[in-house]
């Protein structure tokens, strides 16, 4: 396929008449093909199914639709009308009559769904290998993990099979796969995108996330996808910050002894380089005490929040426990040890941590961390599935507990050719600010992807 799937590039071609949605479907269908060596898809749409969406755009003015003819993939815990939702558990599968609110908003904006993607079962994991549909394989080296839980969604974009994709992010599932596949991964403010029609993981913490080739693309998708949804009890009215961050912004960086790279020889220097780059574009580095954030992160899996995962699928796990992936059953099944008193104790602890961490924002505009300190081979995760997954959540698990918005962006390559990424985070409803800063931080960045056309600046 010779198409550049960057949204801005496709939009220019639609507006000048050199491309039609029907032609786009032909190219995407050919690119996806019949083989799936990376285990991206649980259910790819057929040529005829994609074509129906393309033909619905025929005769309409591309200028009236912000995502006119833009192909996108959907994590298979998010509903697409008439297509099975599995959450990577075949016995759990059902066919929804209508699409999730966020999916329908994107389709109404002109986007064309191309398939449902593989994930860590019930969105429980950051590795992408906990699926009966096969272990998600990294777009740059298939011996390495794709990251999870939104494994297939990230790889689909990295391999040029979709312009953007939807994931979910409760503990890092929309950021870790972005870092491992050289993408932008935006974790919106919780409630900014509706979760109606999304299989819950932790309902009080879940959010729908966006994988894209650039920060500008992610911002375009976010604008089309967001909006209050009365059908979602956790939906929130948008609150916009007063201004975009200018030069002289202050960014917090953890103390050196609070950074963890888990023995990786390359990522410490890559992170230092990223910090230096933020200084070069006008940022002022401020050292912060990261320990309260780390203490908060431990609550997510070491505390009773895992019981939310149990509650989400309680009837299924109690009636069909053997239908679940073994590691997933072990993690979610462990929730039964927590009492109601444990839950309240943890809530009190969280409230204290929220108060403690709130003071940091008096001194900085954003916090910058690695997205993940290292990456693992698939066989390494198989040998120690819990510890490796825990290491990948070191910089991610606290985000939704503290009601933060975040964006993961590319930040160079390791000696083995695998990508590295950093994450920018800020309090809720700073999404536009973060994406704007992310665009500045990646401006002029050479994005070396898998496809030949990605070996140039994507804005070309």
Q: What is the set of active-site residues?
A: 75, 149, 173
Question: Would you state the structure tokens that stand for residue 432, as one six-digit string?
Answer: 């536009």
Residues 6+ apart with CB under 8 A from 254: 287, 288, 289, 290, 369
d(CA 45, CA 50): 6
The answer to whether residues 250 and 278 touch, using CB atoms and an 8 Å cutoff, is no
How far is it, in rounded angstroms, from Cα 77 to Cα 58? 30
Residues 15, 7, 422: CA angle, nearest 5 degrees: 160
Contact residues for 11 (Cβ-Cβ < 8 A; gap 6+): 62, 68, 70
Note the residue count of the chain: 460
Are the C-beta atoms of residues 199 and 391 closer than 8 Å to each other?
A: no
Q: What is the DSSP string of 107-153?
A: HHTT-EEEEEE--SGGG--SSS---TT---B-SS-TTBB--SSSHHH
What the block records as the tokens of 225 is 């996808």
Measured CA angle at 275 (ends 359, 450), to 5 deg: 120
What CA–CA distance (Å, rounded) separates 243 from 49?
42
How many other C-beta atoms can be found within 10 angstroms of the C-beta atom of residue 185?
Answer: 35
How far is residue 409's CA from residue 435's CA, in Å, rounded to a whole number?
10
């Amino acid at each position: 396929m010779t198409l550049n799937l960057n949204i801005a590039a496709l939009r220019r071609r639609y507006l000048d008449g050199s491309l039609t949605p029907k032609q786009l479907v032909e190219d995407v269908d050919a690119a996806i093909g019949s083989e799936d060596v990376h285990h991206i898809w649980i259910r790819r749409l057929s040529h005829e199914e994609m074509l129906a969406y393309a033909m619905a755009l025929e005769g309409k003015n591309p200028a009236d639709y912000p995502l006119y003819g833009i192909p996108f993939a959907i994590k298979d815990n998010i509903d697409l009308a008439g297509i099975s939702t599995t959450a990577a558990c075949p016995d759990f599968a059902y066919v929804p009559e209508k699409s999730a609110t966020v999916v329908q908003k994107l389709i109404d904006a002109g986007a064309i769904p191309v398939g449902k993607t593989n994930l860590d079962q019930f969105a429980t994991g950051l590795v992408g290998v906990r699926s009966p549909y096969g272990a998600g394989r990294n777009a740059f080296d298939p011996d390495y993990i794709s990251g999870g839980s939104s494994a297939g969604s990230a790889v689909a974009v990295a391999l040029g099979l979709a312009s953007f994709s939807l994931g979910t992010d409760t503990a890092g599932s929309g950021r870790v796969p972005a870092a491992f596949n050289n993408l932008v991964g935006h974790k919106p403010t919780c409630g900014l995108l509706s979760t109606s029609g999304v299989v819950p993981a932790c309902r009080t913490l879940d959010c729908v996330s966006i994988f894209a080739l650039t920060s500008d693309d992610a911002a375009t998708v976010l604008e089309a996808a967001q909006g209050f949804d009365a059908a979602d009890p956790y939906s929130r009215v948008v609150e916009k910050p007063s201004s975009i961050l200018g030069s002289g912004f202050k960014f917090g960086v953890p103390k050196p002894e609070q950074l963890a790279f888990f023995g990786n020889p390359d990522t410490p220097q890559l992170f230092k380089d990223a910090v230096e780059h933020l200084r070069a574009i006008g940022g002022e580095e401020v050292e912060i005490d990261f320990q309260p954030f780390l203490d908060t992160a431990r609550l997510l899996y070491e505390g009773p929040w895992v019981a939310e995962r149990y509650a989400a699928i309680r009837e299924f796990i109690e009636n069909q426990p053997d239908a679940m992936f073994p590691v997933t059953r072990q993690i979610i099944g462990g929730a039964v040890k927590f009492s109601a008193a444990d839950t309240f104790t943890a809530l009190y602890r969280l409230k204290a941590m929220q108060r403690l961490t709130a003071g940091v924002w008096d001194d900085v505009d954003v916090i910058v961390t690695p997205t993940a300190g290292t990456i693992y081979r698939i066989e390494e995760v198989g040998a120690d599935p819990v510890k490796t997954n825990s290491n990948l959540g070191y910089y991610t698990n606290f985000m939704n507990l503290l009601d933060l918005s975040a964006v993961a962006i590319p930040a160079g390559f390791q000696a083995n050719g695998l990508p590295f990424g950093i994450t920018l985070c800020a309090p809720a409803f700073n999404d536009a600010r973060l994406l704007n800063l992310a665009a500045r931080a990646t401006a002029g960045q050479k994005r070396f992807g898998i496809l030949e056309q990605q070996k140039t600046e994507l804005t070309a």
